[in-house]
Amino acid sequence: MRARWIDEWINLQGGWHPVGWRSDILSRRIICWLSQAPFVLQDSDGKFYRRFIRSLSRQVRYLRKTLNESRDGWPKLQALIALTFATLCLQGQSGTCAPMRDALIEELRSQILPDGGHISRNPVR
């Protein structure tokens, strides 16, 4: 099974964990899971598929609920990117498409300088 590690994570940390569910880590995981979903879910059984989608949906709901608690700067931007990505990829999220898009655009305008660099001037971001 390609998704053994994800399945183990769902079993061990899928409910909630103080580190694994921090918004910066959660945002990154949502982006990674959505990016790799075609590979991870290819040839998976129905049981794993449902567990994966249920866990991913729970994580997205939690991030949306705690978005205002995200630290300003890169963590907030990354959370908005993850939520916008989820809105585009997951069924039943279309109602949040316009608000997420608008929030992401506003955050990009506040964090991206006219020269295209991030306000932190950190080349990683």
**Does residue 90 contact residue 44 with C-beta atoms inside 8 Å?**
no
Share of the chain above pLDDT 90, in %: 66
Residues in the chain: 125
CA-closest candidate to residue 63, choices 45, 49, 44, 76: 76
CA distance 108 to 80: 10
- Supply the DSSP string of 59-108, one letter for each residue: HHHHHHHTGGGSPTTHHHHHHHHHHHHHHHHSTT-GGGHHHHHHHHHHHH
Q: Would you write out the chain's pLDDT as a tens digit for each of its 125 residues?
A: 568 889 999 998 878 888 889 999 999 999 999 999 999 999 899 999 999 999 999 999 999 999 998 888 889 999 999 999 999 999 887 778 889 999 999 999 999 999 988 888 877 66
